[in-house]
Structure formats: structure tokens, C-alpha cells
Structure 1
């Protein structure tokens, strides 16, 4: 014979205790799942991580486009302008490192992990970043000269 929800009827107190324990565990898992869905702070943090990942992807696309443009511009520059661009890129890198440390001290753990990944990518692509910064400086100088 079975109960209305399909479980067999316990024939001994031990079987009944076992069924009660299984029901408690199932109920506990259900409550945890519902609590997770209702936890606004955790969901907001998860969403923040998703948005940061999307922003990182877009930044990667923009970075590659900027690197291509910077490479084309840099080939046409005289050496003094190139030196100025390299110094500006180094200063920008130092300021970014300071800002990164400040953000890391105040950011939640999931954001810190993603930030660390982004910093690692920047270190691995340092030449590309310097080229992009140089191109930015050159474009700024060219616009300033025309205006």
C-alpha cells in the first residue's frame, strides 16, 4: 500500500523515521533554493559579475580595434612623439594600478576575482596597451594642433 504522494507506507518505526528524515532533507533543499532566489544582495552581486564580464568582452573588442588604429598611426610618427606617448602610457598604467588597488580593497569577492583576471590580461598584453595609449596621445596631439 502507498501514501497519497506515492511513497510506501512504513511498516516499522525505523522505516517511518527514515521517511521523516528524507522528507526533512528534501524540504531543507527546497527552502535553501527558495532562500537563494529571494536573496537580493547575492542576486545583485551575481548580476554585477555578469555585467562586468560583458564589459570585459566589449573592452577586449575595443582594445583590438584601438590597437589596429594605433599601429597604423604609430608607423607614421616621428620619434619624439613616440617617446611622449610611451611616457604617457607608463603614467596611465601607474594611475590604473593605484585605482585598481583602491577598488580591490572595497569590492566584493566575485568582482575582485574578475578584476584580477582583467589585470592579468593587461599584463600579458602590455605592448598592445602601450600602443593603444600612444595612439590616443597622438590623436589628442593631432586634434589639439588642428583646433
Structure 2
């Protein structure tokens, strides 16, 4: 038999010996569980993947917010630099498009099959939900077209 460590006393009764054995079993069980967790590569990889996924989601949300701010700034810059006649034409065209869209919408409601109308409704809701982004993209497109047109004319 081995000698107990110097800091532990030997058991003076069978009951104390049983308690020491039970304590040792408990500590050994915890050690084995810890070692098993360290060697479970799949579980550790899944934990790491979860952490990375959460970090990527947070970064994507942060970048999306930054893009929205930059897009709004760009839209305001474009609106400020557009000449009044262009703004007036755009307003008039938008009103005409709304009127024609109302007429086309009624024809669409009368003629289109239900599954097609449902999908179109989903697309319209998505466009409405991202209206600012669509307007900014349109504004940037118009500004780019105007700049290219000016440069091409020189």
C-alpha cells in the first residue's frame, strides 16, 4: 500500500476511511469529466462555431447600421445637389407613376391568380420595408448617371 500524503491524516476509523474513499471518487470523477470535455473536439468546435456565429451576426448588424447611415447621408447630399427643375420633374413623374400604378393594380387584382398575387404582395411588403435603401440606391443611380453624362459631354 502507498503512504498517504503528508498533509492528509490516516483514517482512524472505517467510517472516516469510507468518507475519504468517497471524496477521492468524487474528485476523480470531476477530473475525468474535465479531461473528457477537453478531448471532445466536436463539442469544442461547435462551441467555437456558435461564438463565431454570434460575433459575425453582431458585426453584420453593426455594419448594416453604418451602411444605412452612410446611405442616408448620400441621399441627402444628392437631394441637396439636384437642381430644382430635376426635382420638379421627379415629383411629377412620381405622381404619374402612382396614378398609373393604381390603374395597373386594379387590373392586376382582377386578372392575376391568387398564388401570384400573394407572392407579389410579399415582394411589395419587402420593398416597402426597405424603402429608404431603395430610394438611396435610386438617388445614387441618378447622381451617377448625371455625373457620367456631364463628363461624357465635355
Q: TM-score, normalised by structure 1?
A: 0.54
Q: Secondary structure of the equivalent of 1:3?
A: coil
Name the residue aligned to 1:90: 126
Name the residue aligned to 1:112: none
CA distance 1:48–1:70, change in 2 (3 Å)? same
| 1:28-47 alignment, distance < 5 Å | 28-47=29-48
State whether structure 2 residue 138 is matched by structure 1 residue 138.
yes
Whichever of the two has the greater Rg, that structure is 2
Q: TM-score, normalised by structure 2?
A: 0.52
Do the aligned residues in 1 keep the contact of 2:74 with 2:140 (CA within 8 Å)? no
CA distance 1:37–1:89, change in 2 (3 Å)? farther
| 1:1-147 alignment, distance < 5 Å | 3-4=4-5, 6-75=7-76, 76=79, 80=94, 90=126, 130=130, 133-134=133-134, 137-138=137-138, 141=141
Do the aligned residues in 2 keep the contact of 1:74 with 1:134 (CA within 8 Å)? no
- Could you say what the CA RMSD is over the residues aligned between the two structures, in angstroms? 3.6
Structure 1 gaps of 5+ residues are 94-126
